[in-house]
A and B are shown apart, each in its own frame.
Chain A
Amino acid sequence: MSELSFRPVHATAMIGRCVRLSRRNIDALLTSLLLPVLLMLLFVYLFGGAIQTGTEYVTYVVPGVLLLCAGFGAAGTAVSVTTDMTNGMIERLRTMDVGATSIIGGHVLASVARNAVSTVLVLGVAVAIGFRPAVEPLRWLAAGGVLLLFLLGVSWLSAAFGLLARTPEAASGYTFLVIFLPYPSSAFVPVETMPSWLRGFAEHQPVTPVIESLRALLLGTPVGAAPLRATLWFLALLAVGMLLSAAFFRHRTT
């Protein structure tokens, strides 16, 4: 299956390309950087006063905002993959024997790079408005790792949507799911406040263990099994995303 063939030089060239294209797409870049910050301010100042979480609301909400960021980033991935599919670029790359892994990997890693920037921005603004994380480098590193895994998983899954979509607009529509998923979780309100049927979903959906891990790791509270569950979830999602991408790639391009 040459779709899965992989050469490091292909991957580095594709990553370089996607990062450069991201940097130059000013509108999309500004949106993906500013929207999460605005959403955080919205949650903290507009809704935060009415939500009881037992801590400062900004402290509670930061992990959720980081995941929203990741969702926007992933949506961008789907759109750029569809753009490649519709403008003939994928075909040129295929006749050059560049595999799906490199083509999609380039988009996914560019998404990770975009998100690294927006994450730092969100954390900076959060600290400015009262977020006080625990100062433990190892835990920060672990939090970064969990976030990275989440990003890789949702971005690769979005890339699969991008391969399936016929237009960039449709691709962006597909990613609604990824963007919406943090809401029915413990990201913005404690799950105890939800009706029982929703609570059952919120407690067992993939975003919740990521939120719990980030919250515990950043605030220095006991982490329990959350990071393990988050890791398992997103290794699984990454695998599904990669397999679906390879399958759709074959299907759409032969």
Chain B
Amino acid sequence: MKQTIYLMAIREALDEELQRDDKVFILGEDVQQGTFGTTTGLVDKFGPERIMDTPLAETAVAGAAIGAAQAGFRPVADMMFGDFMYIAGDEIMLKAAKWRFLHGGKVNVPVVIMAAVGGGMKLGAEHSMIPEAMIMHTPGLKLAVPSTPYDAKGLLKTAIRDDNPVVFFYHKGLLGLPGEIPEDEYLIPFGQADVKREGSDVTVVATSAMVQQSLAVAEQIKDKVSVEIVDPRTLEPFDLDTIIESVKKTGRVVIVDEDTKRCGITAEIGMQIMENGFDYLDAPIQRVAAANMPIAAGFMEEHVLPQPKNIAGAIEAVMA
């Protein structure tokens, strides 16, 4: 094993896959420099023909990636901020998501749509979103939301090799997170949740930065409550079984998500637990998510985004 950080893990995955398969290329605004460091330096090794700086045109970035994927390449489109994906709403949610289905399964779209997501940096309503629900809601898109360097690398390699469109969200607040990864090549299959912490009193389901927040809260209250933390790692495909197994043991569930609460993933996961594990529940499921507001800028953002105290409060409530 070796020590790395989240953003280096992403860069390594890109590097290895660019090396392995010459059909892989990266396109996006300023990917040669790498706005968040995830693609930085790759141009030195692979050249501007494969690390392609585009004009400021998100619609063309996504659309061109999808078109190239339909025609046999395996592009990774970097949208910079997840918020900007709305600009390519038609291309991502209609074209990438539906193309194979509409064409009778005859055309594959092996594209990765990658973007930095999440708040905590006081960047306001249009540079802080983590639009997980929109992607999870759209049939045809897979969605990976890594919470550790290990997961980030393994999931991105799988994403690039997948023959379907995959949205890969890396969290801005996790870029410097340290962690261990194997020296040797490895992949993480989609649809396999990971128990990030074992416990027996309450199951906390969380993704991305909320996994790290939940781990911190679990550690703080470990003398009072034994918290199990399950990280689905991919929201589509979704590993409900691991969650149900945990609920059978604990009987209590808190779901934590950084995206907007209404019609969000906490409602969806909550309902799937209810549909498949109602008899194991000792208390109503608690959900913690962003308030039904745009993400406020500056110091106001903490009044909209979920905070550790909200997670602690929900654990307390479900244990009561």
**Binding between chains A and B:** no
Taking Cβ atoms with an 8 Å cutoff, the residues of B that contact A are none
